[in-house]
Amino acid sequence: VYGQYVANTDFVMAIDTSSSMLTPDFIPNRLEAAKEVYLEWLDDIEKTRIGIVTFAGQSYVKTALTENSGELKKIIRGLKTEQPAGTAIGDALITSTSLLYSSEKNRTIILITDGISNMGISLNESLKTLKENGITVIAIGIGTQQENVTLYDELANESRTYARFPDLDEDAMKTISEETGGMYFVATNKTALKDAMRAGIKYKEAVIDPTFYILLLACFVLLIELSLIHI
């Protein structure tokens, strides 16, 4: 059970809702697969405050930090692709940071995207803000390397050719995650996506747990010393 490890962490889930997330290399598409994994992830944790941010050509706050699992699941189930066109990853990171700004706990953004930041605030500027505020980013690139596909986009009422996985800016995702003390993952199928999400929790476990074990060891040593005094 992962919940016991994240009580000292507040999370923001930042999910790409640009039209390319409708690419059907995941069944039925990347966005729906990400939503399914998010819902399962929520069952792995408890008593943890989570916010939700979505982004296409700009970012949107779906909910501020909350422990209300039912409300979070309702929001996730209702997520759809959004306008304007584009992928504003920098905006999403800044918006997510604003939700975590007043948190007194460890603060982590779990970012899922399949694209390149091409709108809004630059990634360099957002990285600066993340580091200034001590925000950790777990970045997950979603998609496969299949050929481009053309599908009808109901939201835009037109046919679109969706981006294939090589259009993901992996270098930028690696830089953001590494420089904020986080991790970067590539998810080419749903199982890998689940593992990446759960690894984000395990990562926080690894960060938090050493203090506990150091204190435990100190107590153990103290007990030994006290027992020797009374011999």
- Extract the tokens encoding 207: 């960060």
Q: What is the DSSP letter of 4?
A: G
**pLDDT > 90? residue 73:** yes
Share of the chain above pLDDT 70, in %: 74
| Contacts with 43 (C-beta within 8 Å, 6 or more apart), sequence order | none
pLDDT at 193: 92
- Give 139-151 as a DSSP string: EEEE---PPPEEE
DSSP H helices in 119-189: 123-132, 170-179
Counting beta carbons within 10 angstroms of the beta carbon of residue 62, is it exposed (0 to 12), middle (13 to 18) or buried (19 or more)? middle
- Extract the tokens encoding 149: 């596909």
Residues in the chain, overall count: 231
Are residues 193 and 37 in contact, defined by beta-carbon separation less than 8 angstroms? yes
**Residue with token string 């749903």:** 190
**pLDDT > 50? residue 2:** no
**pLDDT > 90? residue 215:** no
Ranges 35-49, 131-145, 203-217: which has the least confidence? 203-217
| Contacts with 212 (C-beta within 8 Å, 6 or more apart), sequence order | none
pLDDT at 46: 79
| Contacts with 37 (C-beta within 8 Å, 6 or more apart), sequence order | 190, 193, 194, 197
pLDDT tens readout for residues 106-163: 999 999 999 889 999 999 999 999 999 999 999 999 988 655 555 555 656 666 555 4
The mean pLDDT value for 49-74 works out to 97
pLDDT tens readout for residues 156-186: 666 655 544 556 788 899 999 999 999 999 9
